[in-house]
């Protein structure tokens, strides 16, 4: 019996006794270059036009409404243009009025809940779907993702592993790798991702790019900066206009001491997405260069753009605005926003920001508690361990940081 390479990778990893040390040299990243650059990816805009025409000809048939909604959802995820989420929602709602049990329509609703950071809403929809059809793998994949976002990592990992065994695709490899990362097993995730790259197919550019950028993110966390850059560059070979990878590269350039390059990358990402938090990242660079007034102006611009979105309760911008408020010296306002977001999302990043806000408010015991909640997720994020080492010198944090990234220092911490 032939065993699928991805399943074999997971089985072999389960037999390992110890993770690879951070100092272990990575394989030559060039071997992970994207090999389908000459094949054009599927054109989402053409798909939208096709489904729009077919829906019009079919007089708003619910099945065709769902297909167009799926195309709008793909466009929103690709472009970061939230107006496509709104269009997808209108069509999904219309279709579900006619066919309340339409599985594809319900999955779109759950995906839209995720987009607005209503992860509890997504979980409610998906658990009801799973109860009716326990074997549906699409439902379980989306449910595992929502569980990760609300801090239920062990459940998400178990579900993702089971999904991967049943359906060993590149997509499920990506899902289980993300779950391993959230649980703190970067090396196991990295190996699965490497095998998955060897199994990728043409015209799946978004997944191919994400496989590489995830490896790049892992390498950055472990101080392997040169390797990380090669993976990010390879990711851009798959999706040259990927704003998220521009952001990844920009953060890497900060670590490499190249702030001007980082600024160019952040602004390139902003030109594509108009995401206000990118202005905050550039403001940080300006502040470090002593350009205080420019930095403050950019932060205020980000604040102005984010506030209306938060008031609408859309697309999870409360945490983004909290980050900006912290930079502007408004920790009380930041804490209120984070507590608002905490009702929907309980990931490590939220608790790290909550710890920063509480520390700024001179509430050190509560700050340390929030930080330990973030550490409890298991993710190997050096900023968490560096901050914990400063706040609780008697703890094991400094030694753990050395094992993750011995090159990481206090200078890299966000204030």
Whole-number Å distance between alpha carbons of 24 and 224: 9
pLDDT (tens digit per residue) in 394-406: 999 999 999 999 9
DSSP 181-217: HHTT-HHHHHHHHHHHHHT--TT-HHHHHHHHHHHHH
Residues 6+ apart with CB under 8 A from 331: 325, 356, 357, 358, 360, 361
On the question of pLDDT at 169 being above 80, the answer is yes
Mean pLDDT value of segment 146-169: 94
Higher-pLDDT residue of 165 and 79 is 165
User: Which domains can be identified in the chain, with CATH numbers?
Assistant: 43-117 (1.25.40), 258-345 (1.25.40), 360-415 (no CATH)
Q: Confidence band (pLDDT; 50, 70, 90) for 18?
A: very low
Question: Would the pLDDT of 29 be above 50?
Answer: no
pLDDT at position 81 is: 78
Q: How far apart are alpha carbons 191 and 197 in whole angstroms?
A: 10
- For residue 21, pLDDT beyond 90: no
Mean pLDDT, the chain, as a whole number? 90
Which range scores top for mean pLDDT: 4-13, 90-99, 131-140?
Answer: 90-99
Average pLDDT of span 52-56: 88
pLDDT score of 30: 59
pLDDT of residue 19: 39
Average pLDDT over residues 337-341: 94
Q: Structure tokens of 259?
A: 């702030």
> Residue 297: is its pLDDT beyond 60?
yes
d(CA 271, CA 263): 12
Question: What value does the mean pLDDT take over residues 256-268?
Answer: 96
Q: At what angle do helices 103-115 and 83-98 cross, to 10 degrees?
A: 150
Least confident of 164-168, 190-194, 245-249: 164-168
pLDDT at 10 over 60: no
């Amino acid at each position: 019996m032939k065993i699928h390479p991805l399943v074999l990778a997971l089985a072999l990893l389960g037999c390992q006794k110890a993770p690879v040390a951070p100092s272990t040299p990575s394989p030559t990243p060039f071997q992970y270059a994207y090999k389908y650059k000459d094949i054009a990816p599927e054109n989402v805009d053409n798909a939208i036009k096709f489904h729009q025409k077919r829906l019009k000809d079919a007089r708003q048939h619910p099945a065709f409404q769902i297909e167009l909604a799926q195309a709008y959802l793909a466009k929103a995820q690709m472009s970061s243009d939230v107006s496509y989420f709104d269009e997808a929602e209108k069509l999904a709602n219309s279709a579900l009025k006619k066919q309340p049990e339409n599985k594809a329509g319900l999955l779109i609703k759950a995906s839209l809940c995720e987009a607005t950071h209503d992860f509890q809403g997504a979980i409610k929809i998906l658990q009801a779907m799973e109860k009716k059809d326990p074997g549906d793998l699409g439902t379980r994949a989306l449910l595992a993702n929502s569980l990760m976002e609300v801090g239920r990592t062990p459940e998400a990992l178990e579900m993702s592993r089971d999904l991967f065994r049943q359906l060993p695709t590149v997509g499920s490899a990506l899902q289980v790798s993300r779950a391993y990362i959230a649980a703190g097993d970067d090396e196991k995730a990295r190996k699965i991702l490497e095998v998955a790259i060897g199994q990728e197919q043409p015209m799946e550019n978004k997944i191919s790019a994400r496989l590489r950028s995830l490896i790049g993110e892992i390498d950055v966390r472990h101080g392997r900066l040169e390797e990380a850059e090669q993976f990010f560059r390879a990711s851009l070979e798959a999706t040259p206009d990927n704003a998220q990878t521009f952001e990844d590269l920009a953060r890497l350039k900060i670590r490499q001491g190249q702030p001007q390059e980082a600024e160019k990358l952040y602004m390139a990402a902003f030109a594509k997405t108009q995401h206000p938090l990118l202005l905050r990242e550039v403001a940080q660079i300006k502040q470090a260069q002593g350009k205080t007034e420019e930095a403050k102006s950019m932060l205020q611009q980000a604040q102005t753009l984010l506030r209306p979105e938060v008031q609408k309760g859309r697309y999870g911008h409360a945490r983004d605005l909290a980050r900006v408020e912290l930079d502007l010296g408004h920790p009380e306002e930041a804490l209120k926003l984070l507590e608002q977001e905490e009702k929907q999302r309980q990931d490590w990043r939220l608790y790290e920001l909550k710890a920063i806000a509480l520390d700024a408010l001179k509430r050190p015991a509560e700050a340390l508690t929030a930080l330990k909640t973030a550490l409890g997720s298991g993710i190997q994020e050096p900023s968490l361990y560096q901050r914990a080492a400063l706040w609780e010198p008697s703890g094991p944090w400094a030694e753990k940081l050395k094992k993750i990234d011995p090159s990481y220092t206090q200078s890299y911490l966000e204030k």
